Amino acid sequence: MLPNVLRPNETDHVPVLADAVREALAVEPGQTVVDATFGAGGHAELLAADLGGRGKLIAIDRDPSVRPYFDRLHKRNRFQGRFLRGEFSLVLEQLASNGVKADAILFDLGVSSMQIDRPERGFSYATDAPLDMRMDPDSEPSARELVNEESERELTRIFKDYGEERYARQIARAIGRRRREQPFERTGELVETIKAAIPAPARFGDGHPAKRVFQALRIAVNDELGSFEAALPTALEMLRPGGRLAVISFHSLEDRIVKRFLRAEEKGCTCPPDFPVCVCGNEPALRALSRRPIKPSPQELAANPRAASARLRAAVKSEE
């Protein structure tokens, strides 16, 4: 039974699948925890409490605006803590190269609520704002640069691959026509172009008509999938034997990457299927805690509708 924990960050950010994450990571006092996607610190607040004042929490985030959240958390809780700003695959690689080991590592993928709720960041299709979408404001390119400078063919690929957008080609063509007259500067301009490019019935279908395009642009701008694929092997390397990995994803592209990685590391053997016996000698590196992803309960969905698409997969590193 997990102890009850005060959640002071609820007014800022409600962490999704919070209890499931705590159960999956099973953090104990004295351990080292890495929150690779710190955000507003909702999950870190709970994991720090589980450390019981005896342990270390390493927080990673590329967004400089989250540092005050970490400082506030650090003041409220007694633990050794470090905040490292940067793209998590690169930061984890640096930690691993310096011999840092962890007992629990968490990834909470996608865009955070506080980024969506700050119009000036340009993540939301619901509010007119500068067309940006960068998690790290110092990075390049922005969504404005992608929309105005990429070819129609590349935009079509981005919308198809990262947004699974049915009308990707039509939208890319409409963007091309519009930007030849005037470049895109704001999210509202892009939303109107998307609406005009798709058939009328599709504008009233499943969710907002710009939802998939905005998702695709955000993923491309921040190289989210490439970064995550690079980070998983490093996270596995950092885990101590018996250490635990937990990943919250919000769409099928992310979940597919996690699923493939866990299956490959559970299998161990890399010999061709027609080999009668294993000759590679590779042993399973992980054991998944459940065959299917954990989803939010009806009670959580009622309290936090944004958790609707959240999926949690977790695994334990094999004992050596």
**Proportion of the chain above pLDDT 70, given as a percent:** 90
Sequence-ordered list of residues with C-beta below 8 angstroms from that of 94, at least 6 positions apart, any chain: none
Of the candidates 181, 175, 129, 140, the one whose C-alpha atom is nearest the C-alpha of residue 156 is 175
The pLDDT confidence band at residue 281, using thresholds 50, 70 and 90, is low
- Residues β-bridged to residue 247: 107, 313
| pTM for the predicted model, two decimal places | 0.88
Burial state string for 45-59 with b = 16 or more CB within 10 A and e = fewer than 16: bbbbbbbbeebbbbb
102-161 confidence digits (pLDDT tens):
999 999 997 766 666 677 787 888 889 999 999 998 899 999 999 999 999 999 999 999
Angle at 112 between CA 107 and CA 118, to 5 degrees: 160
> In the structure, how many helices (H) and strands (E) does the chain have?
13, 7
Quote the pLDDT of residue 253.
93
The number of C-alpha atoms within 13 Å of 47 and in the hemisphere containing its C-beta is 34
Least confident of 155-169, 176-190, 249-263, 278-292: 278-292
Domains of the chain and any CATH numbers: 8-114+224-317 (3.40.50.150), 120-222 (1.10.150.170)
**Whole-number pLDDT of residue 270:** 67
Grade residue 238 by pLDDT with cuts at 50, 70 and 90: very high
Q: Does the structure show a pLDDT above 50 at 8?
A: no
